[in-house]
A = this chain, B = another copy of it.
Amino acid sequence: MQDFQSILDNIHKAARKQTAKGKVADYIPELSAVDPDKFGMTVLDSTKNVHSTGDAKENFSIQSISKVLALSMAMSHVGEKLWERVGVEPSGDPFNHLSLLEMENGIPRNPLINAGAIIVCDILVSRLENPTSAFLEYIRDIAGDSTIVYDEKVAKSEKRTGFRNYAAANLIKSFGNLENDVETVLDFYFHSCSLSMSCEQLVKVFYIFMNRGKCLRNNAHLTLSQVKRINAIMLTCGFYDEAGEFAFEVGLPGKSGVGGGIVALLPNKFCVATWAPGLNEKGNSKLGMWALEKLTTETGLSIF
């Protein structure tokens, strides 16, 4: 058994001394107002013990991390049929997502880029009475935590400025790969991204991906095959165009969000969440990546 707590405490101490913290996302007021000095980190190990340091109990906007959860819920509804409408390969494309979408006839590369996540949301909209509340219930149920909420202000701000997502959704619609109204799908999409959670809450949800589909209360939410699929996608597509760098430095399947959060996991071993609002130039949390590299180096726990 690793002594996760002392490792986390050491990382936290070292993190405080880091001066290059990256740049807080500023495209909506709710994100730009976040204190850049925040730093939280939580490990949930295979014995279900929680180890935390810093601001690990404080909520932040999980943003794109929610894409993994929407994917998880959609897979539990439609299984492998999902791949008829979205791919499983890295997009490898730092800038021109719409170009690729256009050239590939409205089939997004994978469900962790915006265009792909919009399709995942469309699938849920088609299958759920009230997707926004059903998705929240799904997350709360996995986490066993009914205090998890959307940040309505964030959802509204995203909607007001999300022209690129509107462009993507309309382009997908023009190719016939969107079943519902653009407005309805994006309303759900923006809500899903606005989930407000802490590091401690995040590891409780992502525990299902390290624990073969079963949550802390031992309920099965996904099959082992579905978990492998989602982990494989996180590893190859979870970090925008920095997947290769993250695979080298950290070596874990994971997902980041522009709110500064990152979750990652080693199957059967542990699940970890970090939060540090400053982003590197690729849009991933600078201190978060640094902290995860420290963790895997010091514990020797990575896939490589």
Shortest CB distance A175–B (Å): 9
Cβ contacts under 8 Å, A87 to chain B: 244
A236 touches B243 (CB 8 A): yes
**Contact A232-B253, Cβ < 8 Å, known A90-B244, A99-B98, A245-B88:** no
The answer to whether A140 has its CB under 8 Å from any CB of chain B is: no
Cβ contacts under 8 Å, A236 to chain B: 90, 235-236, 243-244, 247
B251 touches A110 (CB 8 A): no
A88 touches B244 (CB 8 A): yes
* Contact size range, A: 35 or more
> Does more than half of chain A's interface fall in helix, strand or loop, or is it mixed?
helix
Q: Say how many copies of this protein the assembly contains.
A: 4
| Interchain CA distance A247-B93 in the complex, whole Å | 19
Question: Looking at the complex, which one of B229, B233, B237, B303 makes contact with A303 (CB distance below 8 Å)?
Answer: B303
Contact with B along A208-243 (1 / 0, CB 8 A): 000000000000000000011101110111000111
| Interchain CA distance A74-B101 in the complex, whole Å | 32
The answer to whether A54 has its CB under 8 Å from any CB of chain B is: no
Other than the given A167-B174, A235-B236, 12 more pairs (CB < 8 A) read A89-B241, A96-B103, A98-B102, A99-B102, A166-B166, A166-B170, A167-B167, A170-B170, A228-B302, A233-B244, A233-B248, A236-B247
Q: List 24 A-B contacts (CB under 8 A).
A: A88-B245, A89-B242, A89-B243, A92-B92, A92-B100, A95-B102, A98-B98, A98-B99, A98-B167, A98-B171, A110-B244, A163-B173, A166-B166, A166-B170, A167-B171, A167-B174, A228-B251, A232-B247, A233-B247, A235-B303, A236-B243, A236-B244, A237-B244, A267-B304
